[in-house]
Amino acid sequence: METELKVTVLGAGHGGLTFTGDLILRGYDVTLYELPRFIANIKPILDRGGFEIHGHDGLGKPLPKTGFAKISKVTTNIKEAVEGVNVILVNVPAFAHKEFAEKLSPELEKGQIVTLNPGSQFGAIEFGNVLKKKGVDIINEVILCETMSNLYATRKFLFRNENLYRVWVMATKAMLPIAAFPSINTEKAMKVLQGLYHNRLILASNVLETSIYSMNAYGHPLFMILGAIDMEAGEEPEWSTFDERKKGSQALNNVRTAVRKERDALLNAMNLEVKEFRLYPKGWWDPPYKNEFLPPPYEIGGNKLKMRYLTEDVPYGLVPVASISRMLKVPTPTIDTIIQLASIINQTDYWKEGRTVEKLGINGLNIEQLHRYANKGKL
Amino acid sequence: METELKVTVLGAGHGGLTFTGDLILRGYDVTLYELPRFIANIKPILDRGGFEIHGHDGLGKPLPKTGFAKISKVTTNIKEAVEGVNVILVNVPAFAHKEFAEKLSPELEKGQIVTLNPGSQFGAIEFGNVLKKKGVDIINEVILCETMSNLYATRKFLFRNENLYRVWVMATKAMLPIAAFPSINTEKAMKVLQGLYHNRLILASNVLETSIYSMNAYGHPLFMILGAIDMEAGEEPEWSTFDERKKGSQALNNVRTAVRKERDALLNAMNLEVKEFRLYPKGWWDPPYKNEFLPPPYEIGGNKLKMRYLTEDVPYGLVPVASISRMLKVPTPTIDTIIQLASIINQTDYWKEGRTVEKLGINGLNIEQLHRYANKGKL
């Protein structure tokens, strides 16, 4: 029985809390870990002994189990979080991958499976490089995976009067490509993980595929740029009237199409199939919690444009895509444009901050070598 | 007396109508010309025998003369418009410069002064090239000038119930650089034109200076890109709440600063002084006509982003700036970005459409040659 699996979820954000609640209600033994500096985020969970989860399975039905998810194992101690578990689900922004890899490496045990949900662009390679450097054998002892996206389109709301989190799953993805790094371990991992993921996992060729298809980079930054003035003026990018304005924008559509073409040219150059994933065949259910506190996607108290749609999706999304494209002589004029404007807008050199082929240790590799590295974990 | 001057205004848009009305009320003999295909634009003027003009002189006072400007000479016949006049004021979008140069060339008479209000970037050189090709001697017989900007920040409103145009001048610029092409003719032209321009003309070194300083390119396209979604959703860029949102935008400010730095690097490379023009030292007076018809800045019935802030200011503003910068090895990464995104958004290759050093016939010239050409009209 899969429910005998012991699972640790790292990160108590939207994605982490959702995974935690969904797994608990389905009978898994789950530990939730959050970084000590974010302990305030988990206070309501500790106070109440759990939180609620509601929402949709993405195939036209509610999630199989909803309601209050009782959890006793909530910790900010990484050793305690990881010891003796089978699966570690990493649900943190891409800019935190390196920190978590460093934290995890001394604690990992033989046979454990670590999955990045998602890896954004080339998260598993970056994570794997850190683990290898710290002496973890990701070929034979620990399995490291990344998914193409988060399993859930989801948000957590804090009901302040009740001091209670309610998670709302707008949709669970109908399919979710996954790959291990190296990919020789993918099938083994999938067998163990499939139940946790509502049997939605599908096999990706390798982490090159999950990474290049990782979606947020091709969406979020575009409307952040074309809607920058609007955002700053106080409209939030989620569940606001901005959503409606976005839908009607031909400008956004044209830029999205141009970016998509550049991505597809890269896929072609890398001998990866160009395909569409129908992630939400039955649509999307908006959250019913209009007046409750939704943790802002921007840095609290900070610049509204210094939020993950730019601070994560540009340096850990578009930059690695542009970097590997440049290496393979695939032009990315539109993607370059978004990186440049995002850098100016946030006065941050995202090229310098971001994941590049140099930092990933794959600079100068040809297509065959890239695939060999992704498949075997060595050259 | 300057009022003995006979003046023809080409173009009955915001700028052309304002110049016409202001000159008529100050006693000049003015003919207004519009292209036959835009005859509908001048119908209310023909019907009513004139139009009203109101607004500000930009130095804290109303315009010296305001009220109804009676005009009998309104024509769509270019020969009739130009014959026997002293000064021809060209008040048309930059994308129409070539068409007007071709129309004008067979009609121009010795001693006439033609001024582009403004030339946008390198309008006088483009216009001059056409005239020269058609056999007009712009060194000795006809004087061709461009101003750095329009003299007025102004709009025309159609009061539909009255079938009457009212022009509102928000501000008249406190100073306005002008240069002839070639600049050996600038002082002579200024003496004649100064009165027409409320004595606001100041001497620019040559058309390289008026062109590179021409302002619209460094403003309009930036907020069109960073506000694209907003624009399309129905907010117009003028006198709407968008103005307020723009003011508070740090993103826009950062992009504007980056673009300005690139412009200043070009000025430096070209041995042109970097300076600030205080065009509106006393501010700006918003129009009182909130509910009247303001001709939309976008193509009527068309895509709201296919309007002059992009269709004029990118190909006839940023493209020539980027093109000459490239020739002189001055990097313009931010300007390039705006050109690229504008091209994608409007599905138009603005690099291909726009004024480049190749089209202007100045490709390969060094700084000294550029100045010699601007100053003497030949190499």
Q: Of the candidates B250, B254, B347, which has its C-beta nearest A254's C-beta? A: B347
Q: Give dist(CA B360, CA B344) in Å, integer.
A: 25
Report whether pLDDT(A129) > 90. Answer: yes
The answer to whether B226 contacts A226, with C-beta atoms less than 8 Å apart, is yes
Mean predicted confidence (pLDDT) in A247-264: 95
Pick the residue of A247, A252, A254, A341 with the most B CBs within 10 A to test the interface with B by mutation: A341
Average the pLDDT over B4-29 and give the result.
Answer: 96
Q: Is A291 left (phi over 0), alpha (psi -120 to 50) or beta?
A: alpha
Question: Pick from A287, A289, A281, A276: which is nearest to A58 by CA?
Answer: A281
Per the prediction, chain A carries an average pLDDT of 93
In eight-state DSSP terms, residue A298 is: B
- Residue A232's pLDDT band, with cuts at 50, 70 and 90, is confident
Please tell me the predicted confidence (pLDDT) of residue B239: 46
What whole-number distance in Å separates Cα of residue A91 and Cα of residue A116?
6
Asked if omega into B36 is within 30° of 0 (cis), the reply is no
Strand order in the sheet with A201-203: A74-75, A29-33, A6-10, A87-90, A113-116, A143-147, A176-180, A201-203
**CA–CA dist B252, B245 (Å, integer):** 10
| Predicted pLDDT of residue A239 | 46
Name which of A233, A248, A347 is nearest B254 (Cβ-Cβ).
A347
Identify which of B227, B243, B345 has the alpha carbon closest to the alpha carbon of residue A231: B227
Which residues in A lie closer than 8 A to residue B351 (C-beta atoms)? none
Cα dist from B101 to B57, B136, B180, B308, B378, whole Å: 31, 10, 15, 20, 19
Q: Dump the DSSP string for B145-189.
A: EEESS-SEEEEEEEETTTTEEEEEEEEE-S-EEEEESSGGGHHHH
Q: Do domains A2-213 and A216-272+297-376 have the same CATH topology?
A: no
pLDDT of residue A300: 44
Beta bridge partners of B338: none
Least confident of B241-245, B271-275, B279-283: B241-245
Choose the mutation target among A226, A229, A244, A318 for the interface with B, i.e. most B CBs under 10 Å: A229
For residue A248, the chain B residue with the least C-alpha distance is B233
| pLDDT beyond 60 at A236 | no
| Integer Cα distance of A225 and A343 in angstroms | 11
| Residue B305 with chain A: CB contacts under 8 Å | 250-251
Contact flag B229-A250 (C-beta cutoff 8 Å): no
What percent of chain A is predicted at pLDDT more than 90? 85
Mean pLDDT of all residues in A302-313: 85
B216-273+297-376, which class in CATH?
mainly alpha
The answer, yes or no, to whether the previous bond of B333 is cis (omega within 30 of 0) is no
Helix (H, G, I), strand (E, B) or coil at B33: strand
Residue A1 has a pLDDT of 46
Residue B302 pLDDT greater than 70, yes or no: no
Lookup: tokens for A364: 């100068």
What is the model's pLDDT at position B2? 54
Total residue length of chain B: 379
**Helices assigned H by DSSP within chain B:** 14-25, 39-48, 78-82, 97-104, 123-133, 186-193, 207-213, 220-226, 228-232, 241-247, 250-269, 308-311, 319-327, 333-345, 350-353, 357-360, 367-376
Mutation test of the interface with chain A: which of B224, B225, B226, B229, choosing the one with the most A Cβ atoms within 10 A?
B229
Instruction: Give B-chain residues touching A233 at CB under 8 angstroms.
Output: 244-245, 248-249
State yes or no: pLDDT of B370 exceeds 80. Answer: yes
Percentage of the residues of chain A whose pLDDT score is greater than 70: 95
Which of A255, A303, A341 faces B345 most closely, judged by CB atoms? Answer: A255
In tens, the pLDDT along B189-209 reads: 999 999 999 999 999 999 999
A216-272+297-376 has which CATH code? 1.10.1040.10
pLDDT category at A347 given cuts 50, 70, 90 is: very high
The least confident of B186-195, B246-255, B312-321, B347-356 is B246-255
* DSSP assignments along A109-128, one per residue: -TT-EEEES--TTTHHHHHH
User: What is the CATH code for B2-213?
Assistant: 3.40.50.720
- The ipTM of this complex is 0.88
Radius of gyration of chain A (CA): 20
Contact at 8 Å (CB) between A314 and A238? no
Q: What is the CA radius of gyration of chain B?
A: 20
Confidence of residue A297 (pLDDT cuts 50, 70, 90): low
Q: Is the pLDDT of residue A237 over 70?
A: no
Q: Tally A–B CB contacts below 8 A.
A: 106
B227 near B307, Cβ under 8 Å?
no
What residues does each domain of chain B span?
2-213, 216-273+297-376
